[in-house]
């Protein structure tokens, strides 16, 4: 399940000259439907009739990323008068914080795009309603079963799919057992989806398309496996109906969206005159590639920049193995070296050289180039995005949920490089960074927080081995068979000893000494 983002706390200084002394004092007004026209002079606001929107999309687990990404595309569809048939209903799954922020604002919120050249802000109005599932599961089921609902999108993180990392099979937990016993009051995403699809089946209503927006390999296939796996535990006939009738397109999504801080909320208020309880800060770049497989109408997202393709695999590999894997590598190694933000890290030529060589020399040779993509240009843009000081993405965010991220983003490249006898020293360094991070001290001996559902178990394994990684490598949910690859445990142990002896920067500098500077590539 998605880990809920915490809203920025109330700050009594928000919007005053004392909080943001370099920004002129402006009149700060609350964000509501009644105040939209007043905000139009300082930022972009919806000009379409929100009451005319048809709630055709339900998004499960609304967070910062979905509000900066999926919802902005649907907002553009409405704003450009392409269609009013694709309004969005948000559903919260674990914490009511988002509901508490959005309800007083009539489900409006602000997206602020920041670049080195400045920023622009817009109010997104496409969210027509927001429901908190634990409080109102029947209302969520009603919305999902409503014939007007044609697409369900979701961002629940990789761990929320409950799939065995080795077999890919659905692995029920206690909440699933509850949902099987109480289908009308489900606690899980898949309990909601399966019960709603069964209601539609029994009513003779066409099913909705289920569109995953999580960073998983073939996320559509993963969603299908989870939904059908859950349904099979209830009713084989229902499972077959879902298999035959429901579309599960895979997709690739990309937009860097740091967590909003109280200080940023205050800055947004002072700069734009808008009192938004939970604005979203993001970068100008945004990308969404979707397999063209829908079962109940396709939203016209291609008219606002989304690319529909026959197979999303190559785009997914490009993004997860270059961007996500680099994020993980830089996150762990950067924190160990004492850095807090990725833009500061990228200003260090040692780290810039490392991540450039990692992408160019070890990852790129292992991935296909999607049609219409210039990989050299794509990587150059990635480096610029990492270095964007206006975003100032914190490394702590990149370090979360490593036990889920590494097996999907970084370890596949390492596994392929080992199998093909290709260079992999920089990939191994990234793994060593994660092992050292699990041991919970940086190069200066300071303790490090570990945000991972499996953190305590993995920390115990990492600490038990010290510079011997074999206890941790034996954890197959993360490493699969990597621990049994001849010679790899010894390679990783040698890198761990170098990190312990020389520190991160010296180890990286030595590993990339032969590579040209990042700026020269």
Evaluated on CA atoms 32, 34, 36, 38, the torsion sign reads negative
3-state secondary structure of 3: coil
For the chain, the straight-line distance linking the first and the last C-alpha, in angstroms and rounded, comes to 40
Q: With contact defined as beta carbons under 8 Å apart, do 330 and 350 qualify?
A: no
Instruction: Examine the pLDDT at 343 and tell me if it is beyond 60.
Output: yes
Spatial neighbors of 140 by CB under 8 A, at least 6 apart, are 91, 131, 133, 192
In DSSP terms, 251 is beta-bridged to 290
pTM of the predicted protein model: 0.89
pLDDT of residue 7: 56
The C-alpha atoms of residue 106 and residue 123 are separated, in whole angstroms, by 12
Side-chain-side CA neighbours of 315 within 13 Å: the count stands at 21
Q: What one-character DSSP code corresponds to residue 85?
A: S
Which sequence spans correspond to the domains of the chain?
29-309, 313-520
Check if the beta carbon of residue 136 is closer than 8 Å to that of residue 95: no
Amino acid 9: pLDDT: 47
* Separation CA 365–CA 413 (nearest Å): 10
Q: Give the mean pLDDT of the chain.
A: 92
Render pLDDT for 106-160 as a digit per residue (tens, 0 to 9): 999 999 999 999 999 999 999 999 999 999 999 999 999 999 999 999 999 888 8
Locate the DSSP E strands across 337-471: none
Residues 6+ apart with CB under 8 A from 166: 476, 477, 480
* pLDDT tens per residue, range 353-395: 999 999 999 999 999 999 999 999 999 999 999 999 999 899 9
Q: Is the pLDDT of residue 13 over 60?
A: no
CB 61 within 8 A of CB 92: yes
Specify the CATH class of 29-309 in words: alpha beta
> Selecting from 3.40.225.10, 3.40.50.2300, 3.40.50.150, 1.10.1040.10, what CATH number does the domain 313-520 have?
1.10.1040.10
Entry field: residues in the chain: 521
Q: How confident is the model at residue 442 (pLDDT cuts 50, 70, 90)?
A: low
Torsion of CA 231, 237, 239, 244, to 10 degrees: -160
């Amino acid at each position: 399940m998605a880990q809920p983002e915490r809203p920025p706390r109330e700050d009594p200084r928000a919007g005053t000259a004392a909080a943001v002394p370099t920004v002129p004092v402006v009149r700060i007004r609350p964000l509501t439907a009644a105040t939209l026209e007043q905000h139009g002079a300082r930022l972009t606001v919806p000009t379409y009739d929100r009451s005319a929107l048809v709630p055709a999309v339900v998004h499960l687990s609304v967070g910062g990323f979905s509000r900066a990404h999926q919802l902005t595309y649907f907002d553009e569809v409405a704003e450009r008068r392409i269609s009013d048939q694709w309004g969005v209903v948000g559903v919260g799954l674990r914490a009511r914080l988002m509901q508490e922020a959005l309800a007083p604002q009539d489900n409006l919120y602000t997206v602020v795009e920041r670049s080195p050249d400045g920023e622009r802000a817009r109010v997104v109005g496409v969210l027509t309603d927001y429901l908190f599932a634990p409080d109102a599961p029947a209302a969520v089921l009603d919305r999902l079963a409503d014939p007007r609902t044609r697409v369900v999108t979701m961002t629940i993180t990789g761990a929320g799919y409950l799939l065995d990392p080795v077999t890919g099979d659905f692995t029920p937990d206690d909440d699933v057992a509850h949902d099987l016993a109480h289908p009308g009051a489900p606690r899980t995403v898949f309990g909601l989806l399966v019960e709603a699809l069964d209601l539609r089946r029994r009513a003779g209503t066409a099913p909705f398309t289920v569109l995953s927006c999580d960073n998983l390999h073939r996320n559509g296939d993963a969603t299908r496996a989870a939904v059908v796996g859950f349904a099979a535990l209830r009713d084989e006939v229902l499972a077959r109906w879902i298999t035959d009738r429901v579309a599960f397109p895979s997709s690739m999504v990309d937009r860097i969206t740091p967590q909003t801080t109280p200080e940023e909320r205050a800055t947004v208020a002072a700069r734009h005159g808008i009192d938004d309880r939970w604005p979203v800060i993001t970068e100008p770049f945004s990308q969404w590639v979707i397999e063209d497989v829908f079962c109940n109408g396709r939203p016209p997202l291609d008219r606002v920049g989304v690319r529909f393709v026959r197979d999303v695999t190559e785009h997914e590999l490009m993004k997860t193995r270059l961007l996500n894997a680099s994020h993980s590598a830089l996150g762990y190694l950067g924190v160990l070296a004492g850095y807090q933000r990725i833009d500061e890290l990228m200003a260090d030529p040692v780290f810039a050289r490392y991540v450039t060589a990692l992408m160019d020399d070890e990852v790129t040779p292992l991935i296909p180039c999607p049609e219409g993509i210039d990989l050299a240009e794509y990587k150059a843009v990635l480096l610029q995005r990492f270095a964007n000081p206006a975003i100032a993405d914190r490394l702590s965010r990149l370090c979360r949920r490593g036990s889920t991220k590494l097996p999907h983003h970084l370890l596949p490249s390492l596994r392929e490089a080992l199998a093909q006898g290709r260079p992999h020293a920089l990939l191994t360094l990234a793994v060593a960074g994660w092992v050292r991070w699990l041991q919970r001290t940086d190069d200066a001996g300071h303790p490090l927080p570990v945000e991972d559902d499996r953190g305590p178990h993995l920390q115990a394994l990492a600490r038990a081995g010290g510079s011997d990684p074999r206890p941790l490598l034996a954890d197959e949910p993360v490493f699969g068979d990597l621990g049994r690859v001849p010679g790899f445990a010894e390679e990783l142990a040698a890198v761990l000893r170098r990190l312990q002896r020389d520190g991160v920067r010296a180890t990286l500098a030595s590993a990339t000494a032969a590579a040209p500077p990042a700026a020269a590539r």
